[in-house]
Chains A and B, each alone.
Chain A
């Protein structure tokens, strides 16, 4: 492959995280360091007849305090909660990057912020108003709150982004696809800067009922790769990056956090819920090929690790398939054991964990892993994180429908 065909190198210069175990990157990382669980008793709305009574919710989120300095976007505080999370995470990422937004040529910036489901909480409130409370109309902002592109639009307005601005939607791979697409746009020269990631906030009565009916939620907790695992636990939050071409970042003397060296995708094209080994394997292999890395170059893998029966054993098999002998040497963890499953936002939050792991040479644990499940026989960093030199980290996102996306991060270029 000709070198010029690879295009420009893409680096991460800012990141933001809103999670149930911390609503800034520092708090989130401290939560991972402490092996904190974000799972708690479900609350904030009438539980009625719900049977699953736990979730990883973000409690006491003061959106007004976190958004009060917003200047260009006047109505962000009236937006859906998923847009608040996106705006807060994007704001943290932009501040960390030190970028002056809007950039000199705002058409050379992109804002790609996905969401698996958009403003579902607004949806439910509006329909309760109409169908149960017999109100004569929905709130006038209902439509704008619901649409799955509103987080991208709000963030784009606040930061003056005039280039490509839209949302991705691929269930649990949403953030990873958003970051990957932004990488491609920068690599191919369409833009120089991108704000990319995803946000999710869907925990309400209707969502819990829908997930309950699919019988994939645990009534007890999120225990990836464990013998006692019996389903995932819904979470919420946002994980968002500021990404730049290497030249753009270097020209302004930015602190580079990591390079996004590889991105791979593959779709199972088989079943909505039953994953294949092939799809995730090809996605991981494509990311390695894209990064021009041998599997043995990866030290840490942040697994999709949802704690469902199917995912964890299938992901383990796919990792063995791709990594061969190195699979046993790889430090693998599912941080979902701590922050729950933030659905579309997962890949963004977990990518933040990967970059922190590289920066601090410490890999977060999989908590709640007392006894590994059958067929789950790799090193999942059980219960306690550990020091480990991490030069390259991989982040897996595998979604319902068999939509697989994988990112690989490497050290800041010198």
Chain B
């Protein structure tokens, strides 16, 4: 796992009531019992850590936040700051 993924998993664990050590890229966020308020804090921490802004609305189901891997991909694309990232936003 690369540095971005490792950092994101650290952030997820920080916000989990019962942190687990078996989190992989394919782990579903719903399996981690992350609720909307946790997600808001996780997004805030990720934004601070990587110096990015993640456009997301707690009222909508966000495809990007289904699995740990999809969060990592989203963060990487935002960090790249390319047109793909902007279009996705």
Contact = CB atoms under 8 A, between A and B. Distances in A.
Q: A and B: partners? A: yes
Interface of A: 74-75, 136-137, 139-141
Interface of B: 17, 37, 40-41, 43-44, 47, 53
A136 B47 contact: yes
Given A74-B17, A136-B47, A141 B41 contact: yes
A137 B40 CA distance: 12
A141 B37 CA distance: 8
A140 B17 contact: no
B17 A137 contact: no
A137 B41 CA distance: 12
Contacts of B37: 75, 140-141
B53 A140 contact: no
Contacts of B53: 136
A137 B44 CA distance: 8
A76 to B, nearest CB: 13
Contacts of B41: 140-141
A143 to B, nearest CB: 10
15 contacts: A74-B17, A75-B37, A136-B47, A136-B53, A137-B44, A137-B47, A139-B44, A140-B37, A140-B40, A140-B41, A140-B43, A140-B44, A141-B37, A141-B40, A141-B41
A136 B40 CA distance: 15
A140 B44 CA distance: 7
B35 to A, nearest CB: 9
A201 B71 CA distance: 38
A140 B54 CA distance: 13
A146 to B, nearest CB: 15
Interface-central residue, A74, A140, A141, by most chain B CB under 10 Å: A140
Given A140-B37, A140-B40, A140-B41, 12 more contacts: A74-B17, A75-B37, A136-B47, A136-B53, A137-B44, A137-B47, A139-B44, A140-B43, A140-B44, A141-B37, A141-B40, A141-B41
A77 to B, nearest CB: 12
Contacts of B43: 140
B54 to A, nearest CB: 11
A136 B46 CA distance: 13
Contacts of B17: 74
A32 B26 CA distance: 60
In order of increasing CB-CB distance, the 7 nearest A-B pairs are: A140-B40, A140-B44, A140-B41, A137-B44, A139-B44, A75-B37, A136-B53
Contacts of B40: 140-141
A91 B37 CA distance: 24
Contacts of A139: 44
Contacts of A140: 37, 40-41, 43-44
A110 to B, nearest CB: 25
B47 to A, nearest CB: 7
Contacts of A137: 44, 47
Contacts of B47: 136-137
B18 to A, nearest CB: 12
A141 B22 CA distance: 28
B19 to A, nearest CB: 15
Contacts of A136: 47, 53
A74 B17 CA distance: 9
Contacts of A75: 37
A137 B53 CA distance: 10
Nearest to B58: A140
Contacts of A74: 17
A139 B37 CA distance: 12
Nearest to A78: B41
Nearest to B42: A140
Nearest to B35: A74
A10 to B, nearest CB: 36
Nearest to A144: B37
A341 B37 CA distance: 35
A136 B17 CA distance: 27
A75 B44 CA distance: 16
A74 B18 CA distance: 12
Contacts of A141: 37, 40-41
A141 B44 CA distance: 10
B49 to A, nearest CB: 13
Nearest to B40: A140
A139 B47 CA distance: 11
Nearest to B37: A75
Nearest to B51: A136
A141 B40 CA distance: 8
A74 B35 CA distance: 12
A139 B44 CA distance: 7
B44 to A, nearest CB: 5
